[in-house]
Amino acid sequence: MFKAIFTNSFGILISRILGFFRDLLTASALGANIYSDIFFVAFKLPNLFRRIFAEGAFTQVFIPAYASSKNRAVFAANIFVIFLSVIVVITLLVNLLPNLATHAIAVGFNEKTIEIAEPFVAINFWYLPLIFIVTFLSTILQYKNHFATTAFSTALLNISLILALYFSADKTQSEIVYYLSFGVVIGGFLQLAVHVIAIQKLGLLKVTCSGFKYLKTKSIKVKNETKKFKKQFFPAIWGNSTAQVSAFLDTFLASFLISGSISYLYYANRIFQLPLALFAIATSIALFPRIARYIKDKNETQALLFLEKAFWFLTFLLTASAIGGFILSHEITWLLFERGSFSAEDTKNTTIVLQMYMIGLVPYGLSKLFLLWLYAKEQQLLAAKIATFSLSSYILFALTLITPMGASGLALAGTISGSVGFILTVRAFGVKNFLDILRNKKAIYLIIGSISLIILLTILKGYTSVYL
């Protein structure tokens, strides 16, 4: 288990380091203004779907269904054709009607800004069909316990965007956004290429392609399996995508605030996503195939044992990250972004947003772990109900806090939403099971470690504040 977690974490770390370097260059080139807002809006929707597919619903429904299928290759091909067809149609519609798509993403933009943003929204959306194919291939690889390719491939997107910023260094801000948008699409092609190579090297290409060969004649044999997959997939999307939908609504609501608000949310969320992806997402990806197999074999005792180990591993790391991220939020933001067009005022505003995000790191990260239990037991509908309550709480608090707190109020609403989701997920997992996990001597070490870290970081902050 820990080998797979390490592989995922290391790959994500490399990707995130490159991602932060990309954001550093983006902040320097564009700052926090209308053009940075436009690019983040243009990339928001395809990135939303990427997170839903790559980090959630598709993988968590596909792996159990694929494992139990009697015609795996045909089943996989059938699912691939159905989903890719729908995604390509949506992408074509966005490119034919970019004005409507842009209005839907950023209602608060005025007509002039909408007109500027349209071509960027259309270009960025071509990333969506590419990343779906990547997700499909990565799920096949995960089933074979191969995680490295997917973990490291996201770095290719960041490399593509870094090169786009490099080659557009002497261009206008509008031209820089064009370079970035095409860089997103090129990054998608690069991710697809390495997954195809990995599938071929593992000897899975012929098996995977055979499903397409016999799809027309044998699709009837997987009709019931496909129907069951669809029935489970749509609740799984809703159950997995609360944070992504909240982030999308952040952009929607922030478009009504002062210029730069969308960028403050973006930069702060990028920092917040590092420990979340590095620890919570990496752990859940590595753990899910094994948990699913234990549940399928009716071996819940072993599944709970693995979950308990992962819980304490994750709790220690997320708690340390949350404390460090909150106390040193200004120093982290200053170090990463304050240069070029990114001003001290931008650092101040981003810092407040980051603190609001960091409060919710532990509950949100741990909820991902316990959601694995629900998906392994094919309780997608229950997870969807939890997501509905969580998202409803986000909307309520976002509308309440946006006026007095601005962008930071939206971040705090997301934190409250994540906490509500965690409480409801633990309740669905079983309060008794959760308390059994907590009855462990490791709890006292967590408390002592947290207090020590708070004291240490507070002292460190006192010294660094003299120089900032």
Residue 408 above 70 pLDDT?
yes
* Spatial separation of the C-alpha atoms in residues 158 and 429, rounded to whole Å: 37
pLDDT bracket for residue 350 (50, 70, 90): very high
144: left (phi over 0), alpha (psi -120 to 50) or beta: alpha
* Spatial separation of the C-alpha atoms in residues 390 and 420, rounded to whole Å: 6
Identify the H or E element spanning 106: none
Q: Burial-class residue 202 by CB neighbours within 10 Å (0-12, 13-18, 19+).
A: middle
Residue with tokens 């995977």: 208
Judged by average pLDDT, the poorest of 101-110, 309-318, 353-362 is 101-110
- Rg value, the chain, Cα: 22
Domain ranges across the chain: 2-464
Reading the block at residue 258, the tokens are: 């002062």
Q: What is residue 427's predicted lDDT score, i.e. its pLDDT?
A: 93
Q: Using an 8 Å Cβ cutoff, are 281 and 318 in contact?
A: no
What is the percent of the chain where pLDDT is above 70?
Answer: 90
Residue 463 above 80 pLDDT?
no
Residue 1 above 80 pLDDT?
no
Residues 6 or more apart whose CB falls under 8 angstroms from that of 182 comprise 123, 164
Exposure class string for 88-113: b at 16+ Cβ within 10 A, else e: eebbeebbeebeebbbebbeebeeeb
pLDDT bracket for residue 8 (50, 70, 90): low
DSSP notation for 219-274: GGGGHHHHHHHHHHHHHHHHHH-HHHHHHHHHHHHHTTSSTTHHHHHHHHHHHHHH
Q: What is residue 54's predicted lDDT score, i.e. its pLDDT?
A: 52
Residues 6 or more apart whose CB falls under 8 angstroms from that of 286 comprise 1, 4, 5, 7, 8, 147
Q: What is residue 357's predicted lDDT score, i.e. its pLDDT?
A: 93
Residue 128 above 60 pLDDT?
yes
Q: What is residue 465's predicted lDDT score, i.e. its pLDDT?
A: 57
Q: What is residue 443's predicted lDDT score, i.e. its pLDDT?
A: 66
User: 204: which DSSP letter?
Assistant: -
Distances, alpha carbon 361 to alpha carbons 243, 259, 265, 312, in Å: 12, 27, 15, 15
Helix, strand, or coil here: 430? Answer: coil
pLDDT tens for residues 231-271?
777 777 776 666 667 777 877 788 788 778 888 898 898 88
* Spatial separation of the C-alpha atoms in residues 355 and 272, rounded to whole Å: 9
* Spatial separation of the C-alpha atoms in residues 102 and 120, rounded to whole Å: 9
DSSP notation for 43-70: HHHHHHHHHHHHTTHHHHHHHHHHHH-S
Mean pLDDT of the chain, nearest integer: 82
Residue 468 above 60 pLDDT?
no
Best-predicted range by mean pLDDT (38-47, 176-185, 330-339): 176-185
Q: What is residue 466's predicted lDDT score, i.e. its pLDDT?
A: 46
Q: Using an 8 Å Cβ cutoff, are 179 and 165 in contact?
A: yes
Identify the H or E element spanning 466: none
